[in-house]
Structure 1
Amino acid sequence: MIIAELRNIRKRFGPVTALDGFDLQIEQGQLLALLGRNGAGKTTATKLLLGLTSADEGAARVFGHDPRQCAGRLRTGAMLQAGQVPETLRVAEHIELFSSYYPKPLPAGEAIRAAGLEGLERRMYGSLSGGQRQRVLFALAICGRPDLLLLDEPTVGLDVDSRRGLWKHIRHFVAGGGSVLLTTHYLEEADVLADHVAVIDKGRRIAEGSPAEIKRSICARRISCITELADDRLRALEGVQSVTRAGGRVTLTAVDSDTVLHRLLTADPRVREVEIQGAGLEEAFLALTEVAQ
């Protein structure tokens, strides 16, 4: 069942076209990742679904209603990049205040547990670490017992542990039947969390499908190995698209991995620890958006 959608949306800000005939559908129980470069239109799409801006053309619907109507807003929670709350209130006070806006909010203790904030209830928001603050904002997004969460770059600036901790809470929300629209620049995050991906470029949707389908749409494969060849020699091998090096290992991307591997072994018979994998979501995203330029 579709619970939120944008249909043939056009939105301009002066001479800039943010969305140009853009379509998006979010189904019940789905985590949809919306991926795009800076300025592609992701935040504008999120704001349309929240009723924070209006389309010049097209229609936005949340639970069958205009997003600006109360009926849809009461069932929607959000974490926005620009989200700010007073630093002089305690964690529990923030949750109690936000919960008061909704007719049937989660019990405060349940919201605290769902966001992993146990033990921080009496702490001032201003004294929290970046990861703790993000968990508070997540608690505020879910305290109204929403059916839909809109998460705009929710883990930006977080360390690895904090990011993975928030992933756990997002998964728990989806496992409980909730739906999520996630915008993120972390392609690993989208690959790990999302069951559906939409790629936007210059205000248009250019690809959509499961993460696996998006990756399969790009034929490139990755050859990871240890070799003594310099990067310029590797790039010179016919069929190699890119070369990256990390931790003593080299990764080559190529459409025809078998042919490139044969040429690599010819150039360096001592190459070792060879692994071949399909393209990751990052490679697929870069390829799709480069084609659209």
Structure 2
Amino acid sequence: MHTSSDVVARLCGVVKRYGHLTALDGVDLVLQRGELLAVLGPNGAGKSTSISLLLGLIRPDGGRAELFGMDPQQIDARRRIGVMLQSAMLPLTLRVGELLRLVASYYPNPRTLEESAALAGVTDLLQRPYGKLSGGQQRRVQFALALCGRPELVFLDEPTVGMDIDARRKLWSAMRALVAEGCSVVLTTHYLEEAEALAQRVVVMAKGRVLSEGSVDALRAQVPLARIRCVTDLDATAVSTWPQVTSAEREGVRLRISTGAPENVLRRLLEADASLCELEVQRAGLAEAFTELTREENAEQEAA
């Protein structure tokens, strides 16, 4: 049971339609203080619509959206958030430092320019015009703008798109620093390893509904799959026909198997190839859980 002081954002039975399309169909969503929540789903799942409702950019057709217990369009609620959307129309001629000072001026207790730049990793870009930056550099600047007001809640919509691996890792570190300060973060991402590395809780959406929510471990536990990798001469096509084997494919000298009964498959592997070596067994990751959950939803929709 969450107390009202714990909850910073909430959707309650929200319905949103665009003509004949139902973008959200009775969605409930709660974000707690100091939590990093990852919202996952295929295109058209309703992720961006959910974020837009919490930001007050659109209104629900049914149910309600709350931000710090207030209407998301109230200025007192908006002053407590930071936002990084998938696209941003910013003045191309302004220098990065000028942009940060301008946005910080809208908030009652902003970070210093130096603190914002250091946290987002843009200190070396402060004197450069925004329009002269690469796509990945612009994304880092947009992240700096999202956090410069010292927000209590940050919305990050696909924040690491266009970034190289090093920049992405630095942004992950900055997100963890925000959460350590007590800031709440809503993250939407197509990079499932990003959600797996960062999120304390994950919500999986599809076709306007919440399919599942919980910790990464709880979502993994819903999918009784394991991965087996080993070096063997066994034929992948033949192994794929074994009972309780979901798939089997060759990766060079290695065979990769997905199964819901790893113990049984391991026994048969060892019986079939006494020279089998370099055996690895891993439980399902978030990617497999996400794939299985959304596949089940699609199957149910098609059957209906």
Q: TM-score, normalised by structure 2?
A: 0.92
Aligned equivalents of 1:205, 1:84: Cα separation in 2: 31
Q: In the alignment, which residue of structure 2 is the partner of 1:254? A: 259
**Mapping of 1:108-257 within 5 angstroms?**
108-246=113-251, 248-257=253-262
For 2:64, the aligned partner's letter is A
1:13 has 2:15 as partner: no
Q: What is the aligned residue count?
A: 293
Q: In the alignment, which residue of structure 2 is the partner of 1:90? A: 95
Q: CA deviation at 1:44?
A: 0.4
**Mapping of 1:29-68 within 5 angstroms?**
29-68=34-73
Q: In the alignment, which residue of structure 1 is the partner of 2:294? A: 289
1:102 has 2:107 as partner: yes
Q: CA deviation at 1:227?
A: 2.1
Cα pair 2:237 2:249 within 8 Å, conserved = no
Q: Deviation per CA, 1:207-256: give whole Å up to 9, x if none.
A: 11100111011111111212223432231222111235546533211111
Aligned equivalents of 1:245, 1:85: Cα separation in 2: 48
For 1:196, the aligned partner's letter is R
Aligned equivalents of 1:269, 1:208: Cα separation in 2: 42
Cα pair 1:225 1:275 within 8 Å, conserved = yes
Unpaired stretches in structure 2, ≥5 consecutive residues = 1-5, 299-304
Q: CA deviation at 1:267?
A: 3.2
For 2:229, the aligned partner's letter is S
For 2:228, the aligned partner's letter is I
Aligned pair partner of 1:2 in 4, 7, 16: 7
Q: CA deviation at 1:275?
A: 1.0
Q: In the alignment, which residue of structure 1 is the partner of 2:301? A: none
Aligned equivalents of 1:93, 1:204: Cα separation in 2: 41
SS in 2 for 1:228: coil
- Hey, which bits of structure 1, 4+ residues long, moved more than 6 A? none
Aligned pair partner of 1:279 in 267, 275, 284: 284
Change (3 A) 1:17 1:86: same
Aligned equivalents of 2:282, 2:150: Cα separation in 1: 41
For 2:183, the aligned partner's letter is G
For 1:90, the aligned partner's letter is R
Unpaired stretches in structure 1, ≥5 consecutive residues = none
Q: CA deviation at 1:83?
A: 2.0
SS in 2 for 1:199: strand
SS in 2 for 1:119: helix
